[in-house]
Structure formats: structure tokens, C-alpha cells
Amino acid sequence: MEWNRKYNYPKSVRALVNGKRLYDIGAQKLPSVTTILNATQDQAKKEGLKRWRAKVGVKEAERITTEAANRGSSMHQYLEDFLHSKLNLDLLGHNSRERMMAEEVIENGLRNQLTEIWGVEATLHFPNRFAGATDLVGIYNGKPTILDFKSSTNLKKEEWISDYYIQGAAYCLAHDEVYGTNIGQVAILICTKDNLFQKFVVDGERLEGYKKTFLDKVQEYYDLQNQN
């Protein structure tokens, strides 16, 4: 895998304003992709989360959520360092869970498949509409691709990860709009805390459908803001 810095991704500052994550890009303050997805989440998902929190208890729910977030952040950092050639996993002196999860993603999801890196944690934006940072963008299995790394407690079924696809579709829209590209593939690389790896890929008409879904959510988000 080689770096090709063919696009000049902007520097940005993330900030929380009234509980919303915003990106400062130039003179624009744009809502993040995750802010838009959270604000437009359907009622069934909201109710499901409430039921889970009630079942396990507030403190236990916070513990599980915090533990999962920390695990995911550590795994992402290993992967980011590896992609920047700052980390040689073979020379690492410990076998932390997060390190082993990252290694599963590298060996099963990246090595011999990712041939060209355009950006890691690359800030992308769609002018006047939204912004975000994709984990990785480049040439993957011969195609321009948005890649996202996820950690998980358990294995996923594809029907559970529609939000991951929508998020990836949003980054495709932003990259294509600003850089004139045609990114036609999103790859989601997941590793569970027990080192089980999964890869999900969406492209073609399905990806176009997720792009439309996200654009509808963007419009819903701004409609909601205008009502407040």
C-alpha cells in the first residue's frame, strides 16, 4: 500500500455546540454526519436504546458504552499509526486486545487489498451542508473506496449496519462534490473484542440508495433546525 496525496484535505476544528458536533471549515460551521444521523434517527431505534438502558441499568449502560468507545478509539489509533507507517505491529511489546483487533483488520481487511492511500482521518465536507472525517479513502480492490473501521462486542448482521452504509455514502457524496471524483464503493471493516473479523461492502445501486437516504436526512435535519 502506497500513499498518493493527490487531494488536499482541509484542516478543521471540531467543536461541540449545544450538544451538536460541528466542523469549522473555512468560514463554515457544518454539522457532522453523525450529528445529522443522530438527530434524524427513527423512533424505533430510539425506543430500542431506551429499553436496553432500562434493562441493564443506567450505570451499567454507561460503563458498557464507555468501555466500547475506548476500545474503538484505541483500535483506530493503532490502525492510523500503521497506515502512517508509525507502527510496526511485529515489534510491539504487548498483546493488548485493541492491538490484536487492529491486527485482524490489517491482515484480513487491508493487506493485499488496499493498494493506494489518499487520506487517513481525512476531513471531508459538502459545502453549506455537512462535514465529517472518514477513517480511510483510497484504492481498495482496484476501486476508489471509502473505508470505515468499526469495533464491536459481537458479530454483526448486515441488516443491523445500515447506518454504517449511510455514513459511508455521505462521505462519498462529500468527496465527489469537492474533488470531482466518482467513489463507487464503501467498505466496512469490523473486528469484535474476541478478534472475529467481518467485512461488508456496498456499491452500485445499493450505494446510490444510501446516498439518497442520507440526502433526505440532511434535508430533515435542516427542517428540524428551522423549526427551533
Query: What digits encode the pLDDT tens for the residues 12-54?
Result: 777 777 777 889 888 888 999 999 999 998 877 767 677 777 7
**Confidence at residue 189, expressed as pLDDT on a 0 to 100 scale:** 98
Q: What is the pLDDT of residues 75-90, one digit of tens each?
A: 999 999 999 987 665 5
Average pLDDT value for the chain: 89
**Confidence at residue 91, expressed as pLDDT on a 0 to 100 scale:** 45
Q: What is the pLDDT of residues 97-130, one digit of tens each?
A: 888 999 999 999 999 999 999 999 999 999 999 9
Assigned CATH for 2-227: 3.90.320
Q: What is the pLDDT of residues 124-174, one digit of tens each?
A: 999 999 999 999 999 999 999 999 999 999 999 999 999 999 999 999 999
CB of 108 closer than 8 Å to CB of 96: no
φ and ψ at residue 82, rounded to 5 degrees = -60, -45
In the chain, where are the structural domains located?
2-227
Q: Taking phi first (over 0 means left), then psi (-120 to 50 degrees means alpha), and beta for anything else, what does residue 84 get?
A: alpha
